[in-house]
C-alpha cells in the first residue's frame, strides 16, 4: 500500500491537530550521531550514514552504480520469477525426493497443464499462474512430475520450491551451503530458456538500484541439432579421441602449442560458421529484451525502467565438463566474441573450482584459453580463479590457480581471488595484477555464503592496499538473494578505513575495466584525475556535459561512462547542498 504526493499530505493534515501550515518538525538523530542533514559534501554524508546500517543502505541504493561485471544470468534471477515463467510456459516440476529426502523441485519440459502461451514480460511481472479450476486436485499431489502451476496453488509447495532453488534459510559458510548452491543450476533447466525475458528482468532489477551496465555470463545458444554448420563441427569430433577435433583440442590444452595444423584449421573454420549464427542470436536476445521492456531509445528519459541499462554478454564454459566439451565451449566462446565483439564482449570459465574434474584439468583449461587467445581476435577474458579456501581442496590446488589464470590464460580480470595469499609468490601476483593491470571482481556476499569468508578474513583490503583494481559484483543475486547495493554496503560496514572516494573508485573501475568496446573517457584508469582532452574542463577536471556530447560519437564504453558521470555528479551535488 502506498500514498502518493498530495493525497498523502492531505490525509496527514486531516489527522494532525497542527494542520499543514507549520513546517514539519526536524528529525532528531540518535544520541551520539551527528545530524546527517547538516552534511556539506558526499564524503561527510557517507561518513554520517555509515554509522547506521539502514541509513547507509538508503544512501548507497540512491548512489548511481556503474556496472555489475560478475553475475551469472540464470543465478541472477529470483526463483519466484522462474516459478512465474514456468507456470506460464506450462512446465513440469520434478518433486521426487533427492538424496536428503526433500523434493528436488527441478523444472522439466512437457507433460503438464498447458500454460497461457505467453512466457514473456507478462509472465515475469504477473503473479504466478494458478492451475485451472478444471484440473483435478490430485494432479498436484503426486511425488514425481507435477505441473508448475501446482507451485502457484499451494503455499507449502511454493515456499519449498523457493527454498530449494535459493540460499534462503541455508546456514552461510557451510559445506551444505556450498553443495546446495551448486546443485541449484541443474534444476533450473527449461524455466530459464527465455533469455530475452531473463535479460529484461535483470535490467529492471538493475534500474531499481541505479546500475547502468550489466556484463552477464550465460551459455551460448546452439543452433538446432540438424543445422548443417553445427553438424559439420560435431562431425569433426565424431571419431572420438582420434578425431580431428579431439586431436586439435589435445594440442590446445598442451603447454607447447604452436600454430594450428590442418586438423586445427578445419575445426576453426567449422566453429566460425556456427559462431556467426550464435552471435546473431545473442545480439537478438538483447534487442528482444529491449522490446519486452518497451524501450524506444536508451537516451529517452521517459523510457520504461530498465531501458537505460546497457547489457552485454560473456560466454560461459563449464570447467566441470569433460575436457573435450570444455574445448568445444571455449572454441565457440572465442569465435562468437570475434564475430560480434560489441555484444559478446568476452568469455569466462565457471562452475565449482573445487570439483574433482575441475581441479585435475585446471592447467589444461588455462593452456586452452591462453592458446585460443593467440588464434582468435581478442575477446575479453574474465576467469573465476581462487574461489577456494584451505580445507576445501588439497594444498596444491591453493598454490597456482590465480597465477596460471594471469600468466598462462592471460586473464584481464579475475573472479573472486579469495585464495590469493595461499598462492606461491602471492606478492608477485599482486604486483603483476596492479601493473598489468588485472582487475579483481570481489563478491562479498557470495564469499560469505559459500566459503564462510568475510570481514577481516577477506582479502579485499589487501587488493586495495596493493593497488590492484577492484570491482564489486553480485555473482548470483537471485539465488543468493542479494544486490549490488548490498556489496557496497558490506564494504563500507566491514572496512571502516574505506572512504567514499574508495567506493567511487570501485564504482568507476566497474566501467573502466569492463569489456565494453571503444575508448575510455579517462587517461588515468584507476586514479580518475585526468579525463581525455575531449572531456576535460579548462581547469583540468571532468566537464560532464562536454564529455557526454563527445561520447555520443564514440563506442559503448565512453557513452556509458559519460551517462554514469552525469548521474554521479547529480547524486554528489545533491548531498553537497544539504
Residues that bind Zn ion (CB under 5 A): 475
CB of 103 to Zn ion, least distance (A): 27
CB under 8 Å to 136, separation ≥6 — which residues? none
Could you please report the per-residue DSSP string of 291-338?
HHHT-S-TT-TTSPTTTT-EEEEEEEEETTS-HHHHHHHHHHHHHHHH
Residues 253, 264: Cα–Cα separation, whole Å: 13
Nearer to Zn ion, 475 or 572 (CB): 475
Q: Are strands 145-147 and 92-94 parallel, antiparallel or unpaired?
A: antiparallel
CA angle 265–271–273, rounded 5-degree value:
105
Nearer to Zn ion, 89 or 449 (CB): 449
Angstrom CA distances, 134 to 113, 131, 137, 139, stand at 11, 8, 9, 11
Nearer to Zn ion, 249 or 350 (CB): 350
Nearer to Zn ion, 286 or 351 (CB): 351
Nearer to Zn ion, 279 or 315 (CB): 315
Cα-flanking dihedrals φ and ψ of residue 111, to 5°?
75, 15
Long-range CB contacts for residues 407-410, cutoff 8 Å, separation at least 24: 407/432, 408/363, 408/366, 408/367, 408/369, 408/370, 409/365, 409/366, 409/367, 409/369, 409/370, 409/373, 409/381, 409/383, 410/369, 410/370, 410/373, 410/381
Angstrom CA distances, 82 to 98, 222, 514, stand at 20, 22, 28
CA–centroid distance for 161 within its chain? 23
CB of 77 to Zn ion, least distance (A): 15
CB of 13 to Zn ion, least distance (A): 52
> Which residue has the closest beta carbon to Zn ion?
475
Helix (H, G, I), strand (E, B) or coil at 456: helix
Asked if residue 65 lies in contact with residue 437, where contact means CB atoms within 8 angstroms, the answer is no
Dihedral sign for Cα 486, 487, 489, 493, please: positive
CB of 4 to Zn ion, least distance (A): 39
CB of 181 to Zn ion, least distance (A): 11
CB of 252 to Zn ion, least distance (A): 24
Q: Peptide bond preceding 437: is omega within 30 degrees of 0, i.e. cis? A: yes
Nearer to Zn ion, 72 or 343 (CB): 72
Joined grid coordinates for residue 451: 566459503
Residues 181, 219: Cα–Cα separation, whole Å: 18
CB of 518 to Zn ion, least distance (A): 26
Nearer to Zn ion, 404 or 475 (CB): 475
CB of 71 to Zn ion, least distance (A): 7
Nearer to Zn ion, 319 or 403 (CB): 319
Among candidates 132, 138, 137, 142, which has minimal Cα distance to 92? 142
Nearer to Zn ion, 108 or 413 (CB): 413
CB of 475 to Zn ion, least distance (A): 5
Residues 265, 138: Cα–Cα separation, whole Å: 58
CB of 38 to Zn ion, least distance (A): 42
Residues 254, 267: Cα–Cα separation, whole Å: 17
CB of 182 to Zn ion, least distance (A): 11
Residues 201, 195: Cα–Cα separation, whole Å: 10
CB of 70 to Zn ion, least distance (A): 6
Nearer to Zn ion, 475 or 556 (CB): 475
CB of 473 to Zn ion, least distance (A): 8
Nearer to Zn ion, 475 or 512 (CB): 475
CB of 184 to Zn ion, least distance (A): 13
Spell 145-178 as b/e; 16+ CB within 10 A means b.
bbbbbbbbbbeebbebbbbbbbbeebeebeeebb
Among candidates 334, 379, 386, 331, which has minimal Cα distance to 358? 386
Nearer to Zn ion, 209 or 475 (CB): 475
Asked if residue 448 lies in contact with residue 173, where contact means CB atoms within 8 angstroms, the answer is yes
Nearer to Zn ion, 178 or 567 (CB): 178
Helices (H), 224-261: 228-235, 244-252
Joined grid coordinates for residue 421: 595469499
Helices (H), 135-194: 149-153, 155-164, 175-188
Joined grid coordinates for residue 308: 537505460
Nearer to Zn ion, 350 or 542 (CB): 350
Amino acid at each position: 500500500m502506498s500514498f502518493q504526493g498530495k493525497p498523502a499530505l492531505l490525509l496527514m493534515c486531516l489527522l494532525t491537530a497542527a494542520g499543514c501550515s507549520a513546517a514539519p518538525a526536524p528529525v532528531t538523530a540518535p544520541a551520539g550521531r551527528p545530524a546527517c542533514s547538516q552534511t556539506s559534501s558526499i564524503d561527510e554524508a557517507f561518513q554520517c550514514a555509515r554509522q547506521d546500517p539502514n541509513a547507509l543502505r538508503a544512501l548507497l541504493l540512491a548512489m548511481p552504480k556503474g556496472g555489475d561485471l560478475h553475475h551469472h544470468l540464470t543465478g541472477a534471477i529470483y526463483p519466484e520469477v522462474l516459478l512465474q515463467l514456468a507456470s506460464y510456459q506450462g512446465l513440469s516440476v520434478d518433486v521426487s525426493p533427492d538424496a536428503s529426502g526433500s523434493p528436488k523441485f527441478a523444472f522439466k519440459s512437457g507433460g503438464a497443464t498447458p500454460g497461457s502461451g505467453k512466457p514473456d514480460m507478462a509472465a515475469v511481472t504477473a503473479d504466478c499462474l494458478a492451475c485451472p479450476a478444471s484440473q483435478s486436485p490430485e494432479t498436484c499431489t503426486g511425488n514425481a512430475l507435477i505441473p508448475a502451476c501446482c507451485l502457484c496453488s499451494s503455499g507449502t509447495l511454493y515456499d519449498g520450491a523457493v527454498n530449494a532453488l535459493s540460499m534462503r534459510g541455508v546456514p552461510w559458510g557451510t559445506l551444505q551451503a556450498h553443495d546446495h548452491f551448486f546443485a541449484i543450476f541443474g534444476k533450473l533447466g527449461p524455466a530459464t530458456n527465455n533469455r530475452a525475458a531473463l535479460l529484461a528482468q535483470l535490467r529492471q532489477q538493475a534500474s531499481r538500484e541505479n546500475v547502468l551496465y550489466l556484463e552477464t555470463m550465460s551459455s551460448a545458444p546452439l543452433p538446432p541439432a540438424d543445422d548443417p554448420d553445427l553438424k559439420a563441427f560435431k562431425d569433426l569430433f565424431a571419431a572420438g579421441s582420434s578425431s580431428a577435433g579431439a586431436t586439435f583440442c589435445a594440442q590446445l590444452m598442451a603447454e607447447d602449442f604452436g600454430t594450428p595444423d590442418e586438423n586445427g584449421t578445419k575445426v576453426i573454420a567449422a566453429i566460425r560458421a556456427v559462431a556467426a549464427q550464435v552471435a546473431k542470436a545473442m545480439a537478438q536476445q538483447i534487442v528482444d529484451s529491449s522490446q519486452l521492456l518497451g524501450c524506444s531509445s536508451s537516451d529517452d528519459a521517459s523510457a520504461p525502467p530498465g531501458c537505460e541499462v546497457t547489457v552485454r554478454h560473456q560466454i560461459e564454459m563449464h570447467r566441470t565438463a569433460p575436457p573435450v566439451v570444455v574445448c568445444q565451449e571455449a572454441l565457440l566462446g572465442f569465435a562468437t566474441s570475434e564475430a560480434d565483439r560489441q555484444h559478446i564482449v568476452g568469455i569466462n570459465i565457471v562452475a565449482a573450482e573445487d570439483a574433482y574434474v575441475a581441479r585435475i584439468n585446471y592447467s589444461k583449461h588455462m593452456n586452452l584459453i591462453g592458446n585460443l587467445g593467440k588464434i582468435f581476435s581478442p575477446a575479453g577474458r574474465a576467469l573465476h580463479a581462487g574461489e577456494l579456501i584451505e580445507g576445501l581442496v588439497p594444498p596444491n590446488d591453493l598454490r597456482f590457480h590465480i597465477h596460471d589464470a594471469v600468466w598462462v590464460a592471460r586473464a584481464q580480470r579475475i573472479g573472486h581471488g579469495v585464495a590469493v595469499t595461499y598462492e606461491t609468490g602471492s606478492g608477485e601476483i599482486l604486483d603483476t595484477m596492479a601493473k598489468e593491470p588485472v582487475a579483481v571482481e570481489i563478491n562479498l556476499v557470495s564469499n560469505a555464503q559459500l566459503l564462510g569468508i568475510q570481514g577481516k578474513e577477506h582479502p579485499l583490503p589487501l587488493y586495495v592496499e596493493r593497488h590492484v583494481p577492484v570491482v564489486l559484483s553480485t555473482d548470483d543475486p537471485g539465488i543468493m538473494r542479494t544486490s549490488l547495493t548490498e556489496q557496497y554496503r558490506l564494504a563500507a560496514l566491514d572496512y571502516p578505513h574505506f572512504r567514499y572516494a574508495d567506493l567511487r573508485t570501485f564504482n568507476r573501475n566497474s566501467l573502466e575495466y569492463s569489456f565494453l568496446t571503444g575508448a575510455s573517457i579517462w587517461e588515468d584508469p584507476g586514479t580518475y584525475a585526468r579525463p581525455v582532452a575531449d572531456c576535460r574542463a579548462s581547469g583540468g577536471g571532468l566537464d560532464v556535459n562536454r564529455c557526454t556530447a563527445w561520447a555520443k560519437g564514440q563506442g559503448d564504453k565512453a557513452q556509458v561512462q559519460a551517462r554514469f558521470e552525469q548521474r554521479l555528479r547529480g547524486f554528489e551535488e545533491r548531498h553537497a547542498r544539504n
